[in-house]
Structure 1
Amino acid sequence: MITPKIPMPSNPFKFLKKQKQEIGISPDELLFRGIRKSDKVHLNIIDFNGEKLEEKSIKHIEEAFPLNKTDSVTWLNIDGLHDATLMDKIYKGIELPKLVLSTVMDTQARPTVQDFENSLFISLKMMQRDPVTDQITVENLSLVITENMLISFQEKKGDVFEPVRERIRMNKKRIRNSGTDYLAFTLLDIVIDNYIYNLGILGEKIEDLEDRLLVNQNKKTIDQINRYKRELNFMRKSIKPAKEMILNLAKLDTDLIDEENEIYYRELQVNISHASETSDNYREMLSDQLNIYHTTISAKLNDIMKFLTIFSVIFIPLTFIAGIYGTNFDVLPELHYRYSYYIMWLVMIVITLSMLVYFKKKKWF
C-alpha cells in the first residue's frame, strides 16, 4: 500500500500550518502527515523481567503480538511512521484505538495524553542537537502503554534512548523489576532532560553574547540576537505544550500507573517546569539584550548628532562673517584696511572659543 506524503514547510523555525490536503480527512484515518525521515520501518523488541532479557530486531510486526499476553515487560520500538499497512496491523493485533494510531502518523500533532480502557497514549516532541550543523532538530515521539507492553513510535532511527537500553542490559533492579509505567517514565525523563540540556547550550551562547554586547555593538550582534530568538522560540514550541501534557498526565487516575511510581511522574513535573522557566528567563534576557542594543545605538547616534549640531552651530557665525567679506561689492570699509584679515580671524576665534565655553557650561558635551 502506497502512503501519500503531505509536504511540510522546509524551514524548521516556521510555525505550523494546516495543510490543504488534510481538510476533510477523518480523524481516525491512517494517513501519514509529515516529512518522511526514514526509508523503511525498523522494529526492535526488548522483552525482559527480573530474570531474563531478550533483545532482537524483527521484520514482521506479527512477531510482537504474542508478547502482549505474557507476564514480562515488552518494549517495542518502531522507527518510521509512514507505513499505514503496519499501523493497521497494530490496530487489529493489539486492539488499540484507531484514533491513537492516526495521531501517531501525524508528526505535527500537539503533545497530548489520552487514557483509554486498555491503554495510555502519550505524545510529545523529542529534541536533539545535530552535532554537524549545531542546530536543533525535533521529531514526534509517541508512547502507547498497555499492561505488559510499551510501544514507542519515532520518526527515524536514533540512539537517544540508548542509556535506557543500557540500564536494562546491565540488569538495573529498578527498571528490570518495574512495569511499563516506569519504563515510560524513563523515556519521558530522557526527553525532558534533552530539553534542559539543549536550553543550557543555547543559554551559554546568550550569556556570552550579553558580555560582548556591552563592548561591541554591530550588525553581527543584532543578527545573533535574532537568530537566538528564533531558535529559542522554536524550542518553546515543543516545551510549552509538553509541560501542559505532563501536568495532565500527573492528574490522570489510571490503573496503568502504579501508586509507587507516581512519585517519578511528579518529578517529571518539576523537570519540565524547570525547562519552561529556563526558556522564559532566556527569552527575557534576549529581549533585554535587544533593548540594550537599541538603547546603546540610540545613545551613540545622539552623541554623533550632538557633535554635528555643535559643529554646525559654531560655523554658522563664522560662515556669516566669511559671507560678508566674500561679497562682490567694491565699497567695503574694512576691505583695504591693513589689519582687516587678522582682525577677522581674531573675531572668528573669539566667537568659536566663547561658544565652546558656553556649551561646556551647559554640559552639552
Structure 2
Amino acid sequence: MARFVRKNKDEIGRAPDELFYRGEKKIDEVLIRVIDFDSKNLNEQPVKDITEAIAYQDMKTVTWLNIDGLHNKELMLDIAKGFHLDELVLANVMNTSSRPTVQEFDNCIFLSIKMLQLNEEHGTLTVENLSLILTKSVLISFQEKKGDVFEPIRERIRKNRKRIRNGWTDYLTFALLDIVIDNYIYILSVLGEKIEILEENIGNHPNKSTIRKINDYKRELNFLRRNIRPAKEMILTLSKLESEFIFDSTYIHFQELRDNMNQAIDSSDSYREILTDQLNLYHTSVSTKLNDIMKFLTIFSVIFIPLTFIAGIYGTNFDNVPELHYQYSYYIMWAAMIFVAILMLIYFKKRNWF
C-alpha cells in the first residue's frame, strides 16, 4: 500500500456506493472463516460459500465472520444482500485508501482503521486497511490479506475466556481494535529504542551515517503519525457514540482504547521532538568539530607562514647546501614531500576531520 494517498484515474466520477475495489490486490483467493460462540459452545470453520455464514445471523450466539481479500465484487454483493446491508458500507470496505472512520447505519456500525505490522526479520513496516461491520449478533472483519495478528483473540475464544465468551459483538470489536492499537504502541517502542540509542552516540561520534539514520527515523515516524492520528479521532468518536449495538458495559473499554491512543500520540510527539533535538545536536557537534579543525590548521599555518616567508626571501641557493650536488637529491625531496603529505592525511583521518 502506498505511503501517500494515490487515486487512480478510473476511480474519478464513480458513485460513492459503487462496489469498486480501490486498492492493491494482495491475495488471489478470498478466504472466509467463521467463529460462532457463546458461553458454552464454540464452532470454528472455514467457509467456501458466503451463504453458509449468512445462516448464523439468526442464531442467538456471537458470530465472527473474517474475510481476507477485498477484490471480489460478487462476494461483496452477496454479503450486502445476505446481511441486509447498505451497499455504501461495502463500497467503503473496498476503498483501502480511506481514512479511519466510524459510521452508524440503521442496522450496523461501520468502522475503518489502518493496521500496522512490523516485520522484525527485515525491519520493514507494512500497513493494511481493516474494516469492521458491527451488528447485534454478527461482526464481519475485512482484511486485505491473510494474517495472524488476531490469533491471540481466537485463542482466547478457544480457551473459553469468560469475558470474551460472555460478551457480544461490541466487546469482540473492542478486542480487535485493542490488538491494532497495541501494535501501534509496540512499533513506536521499537522505533523509540533506536532513537534513544542514537541519542546516546550522537554526541561522541557524529558522522554521515548519523544524519542518514535521523532522516530515516523521521520518515518512519511521520508515516506512523499519518496513520495513528486519524485513528485517534475514530476511537474518540466511537467512545462517544450512543448506539443500540454497543452495551453500556463496553463503553469503559472503548475509553481504555482512547487512553491507549493518547499514549501512542504522546510517544510519537516525544520522539519527534527528540529527533529534532538530535538533528540540532548533530549540526552543533559538526560545527564544534569544524571549529577545532580550523583552530589546529590556523595554528599550523601561523607556525609555517614566517618560515615560508623567510624561505621565500632568501631561498635555498647557498653555496654550502650538503645535498645540492648529490645524485638522488631530487628523488629524496619528492619522497620526503609525499611522506609528509601521507603522514598529515593519516593524522587527519584518525582525528575524524574528513
Counting only pairs closer than 5 Å after superposition, residues 256-271 of structure 1 correspond to structure 2 as 256-271=245-260
- Secondary structure of 2:235's match? helix
1:277 matched to 2:255 = no
1:245 matched to 2:273 = no
1:189 matched to 2:189 = no
Structure 1 or 2, whichever has the larger Rg, is: 1
Please state how far the C-alpha of 1:327 moved relative to its aligned partner: 10
Question: Aligned partners of 1:249 and 1:181: how far apart in 2?
Answer: 11
Question: Aligned partners of 1:310 and 1:101: how far apart in 2?
Answer: 75
Given candidates 97, 105, 127, the residue that maps to 1:138 is 127
- Secondary structure of 2:310's match? helix
Please state how far the C-alpha of 1:264 moved relative to its aligned partner: 0.4
1:64 matched to 2:65 = no
Q: What's 2:222 paired with?
A: 233
Counting only pairs closer than 5 Å after superposition, residues 49-198 of structure 1 correspond to structure 2 as 49-198=38-187
Q: Which amino acid aligns with 2:159?
A: M
- Secondary structure of 1:110's match? coil
Given candidates 193, 196, 206, the residue that maps to 1:217 is 206
Question: Aligned partners of 1:317 and 1:212: how far apart in 2?
Answer: 41
Q: What's 2:345 paired with?
A: none
- Secondary structure of 1:209's match? helix
Q: Which amino acid aligns with 1:202?
A: L
Question: Aligned partners of 2:16 and 2:120: how far apart in 1?
Answer: 37
Write out per-residue CA displacement over residues 128-169 of structure 1, whole angstroms, 9 at most, x where no aligned residue. 111331211111100000011000000111111111111111
- Secondary structure of 1:87's match? helix
- Secondary structure of 1:128's match? strand
- Secondary structure of 2:132's match? strand
Q: What's 1:360 paired with?
A: none
Please state how far the C-alpha of 1:317 moved relative to its aligned partner: 3.7
Q: What's 1:202 paired with?
A: 191
Please state how far the C-alpha of 1:307 moved relative to its aligned partner: 2.3
- Secondary structure of 1:122's match? strand
1:40 matched to 2:24 = no
- Secondary structure of 1:235's match? helix
Please state how far the C-alpha of 1:215 moved relative to its aligned partner: 1.8
TM-score, normalised by the number of residues in structure 2: 0.86
1:23 matched to 2:3 = no
TM-score, normalised by the number of residues in structure 1: 0.83
Please state how far the C-alpha of 1:308 moved relative to its aligned partner: 2.1
Question: Aligned partners of 1:57 and 1:119: how far apart in 2?
Answer: 24
Q: What's 1:287 paired with?
A: 276
Where do 5+ consecutive residues of structure 1 fail to align?
1-7, 329-334, 337-365
Q: What's 1:356 paired with?
A: none
Q: What's 1:301 paired with?
A: 290
Write out per-residue CA displacement over residues 183-220 of structure 1, whole angstroms, 9 at most, x where no aligned residue. 00000001001111111111111111111212211112
Please state how far the C-alpha of 1:322 moved relative to its aligned partner: 3.0
- Secondary structure of 2:98's match? coil
Question: Aligned partners of 1:319 and 1:130: how far apart in 2?
Answer: 62
Please state how far the C-alpha of 1:113 moved relative to its aligned partner: 0.6
Question: Aligned partners of 1:167 and 1:193: how far apart in 2?
Answer: 16
- Secondary structure of 2:229's match? helix
Please state how far the C-alpha of 1:26 moved relative to its aligned partner: 1.5
- How many residue pairs match? The answer is 319
- Secondary structure of 1:78's match? strand
Please state how far the C-alpha of 1:46 moved relative to its aligned partner: 0.6
Please state how far the C-alpha of 1:78 moved relative to its aligned partner: 0.3
What root-mean-square deviation, in Å, do the aligned CA atoms of Structure 1 and Structure 2 show? 1.8
Write out per-residue CA displacement over residues 53-104 of structure 1, whole angstroms, 9 at most, x where no aligned residue. 1111110111111211221110000000111110111111112121221111
Q: What's 2:327 paired with?
A: none
* Bigger shift: residues 303-312 or 188-197: 303-312
Q: What's 2:339 paired with?
A: none
Question: Aligned partners of 2:226 and 2:200: how far apart in 1?
Answer: 27
Q: Which amino acid aligns with 1:80?
A: G
Please state how far the C-alpha of 1:20 moved relative to its aligned partner: 2.2
